[in-house]
């Protein structure tokens, strides 16, 4: 199935050279007296290699038709192995390698329900919930008089990821993080 290159955004899936790719960055470049170009940074979902593609913005790109989503639950990770189980059936476990998980590993926490993306019979990626609640396990002390608009400071959440949070957030606070952007969203 073909889709206009202008409609493709970060997080979408495309097919290049009969291989599935995830768009990890997108830039629209309009130059004077020239046609506009869309520059895509894509990650091959089978081998993890990243490359850049430039296309005319009026062009079309193939999007995979046979992508299927299935729910699963994250159980734990051990070194570069990430273990999941079927929803409602913890006895049926399976493992995915770290290369497949990518940066999403920073926001995986036990008992989190995710979506597995299948391309044919093969798992090619996972999708996390967009907004997730985490506990702040390490943050610099609160500065007296700090407000929501008073700047940011780094804080470590329960998964080990570092997130820029407002100055009033302290250790033990519950926050909502946008897992797509890896950014603080709100206080829980």
Give the pLDDT confidence of 68-88 residue by residue, as tens digits: 889 999 999 998 999 999 999
* Report field, pTM of the whole predicted structure over 0.85: no
Q: Where are the domains of the chain?
A: 2-62, 67-127, 131-187
Question: What confidence tens digit (pLDDT) does each residue in 6-20 have?
Answer: 889 888 889 898 888
- Taking residues 162-172, report their average pLDDT: 92
Q: Do 2-62 and 67-127 share a fold? A: no
Tokens coding 106: 């920073």
CATH H-level, domain 67-127: superfamily = Nucleic acid-binding proteins (2.40.50.140)
CATH number of 2-62: 2.30.30.30
Burial of 72 (0-12, 13-18, 19+ CB in 10 A): buried
Residues 6 or more apart in contact with residue 34 via CB below 8 angstroms: none
Topology given in CATH for the domain delimited by 131-187: OB fold (Dihydrolipoamide Acetyltransferase, E2P) (2.40.50)
């Amino acid at each position: 199935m073909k889709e206009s290159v202008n409609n493709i955004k970060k997080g979408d899936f495309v097919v290049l050279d009969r291989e599935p790719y995830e768009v990890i960055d997108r830039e629209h470049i309009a130059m004077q007296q020239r046609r506009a170009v869309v520059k895509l940074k894509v990650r091959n979902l089978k081998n993890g290699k990243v490359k850049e593609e430039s296309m005319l913005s009026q062009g079309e790109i193939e999007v995979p038709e046979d992508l299927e989503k299935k729910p699963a639950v994250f159980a734990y990770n051990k070194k570069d192995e990430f273990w999941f189980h079927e929803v409602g059936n913890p006895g049926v476990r399976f493992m995915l390698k770290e290369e497949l998980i990518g940066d999403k590993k920073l926001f995986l926490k036990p008992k989190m329900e995710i979506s597995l993306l299948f391309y044919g019979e093969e798992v090619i990626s996972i999708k996390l919930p967009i907004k997730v609640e985490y506990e702040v396990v390490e943050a610099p002390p609160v500065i007296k008089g700090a407000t929501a608009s008073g700047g940011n400071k780094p804080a470590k959440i329960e998964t080990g990821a570092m997130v820029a949070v407002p100055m009033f957030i302290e250790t033990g606070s519950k926050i909502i993080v946008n897992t797509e952007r890896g950014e603080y969203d709100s206080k829980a």
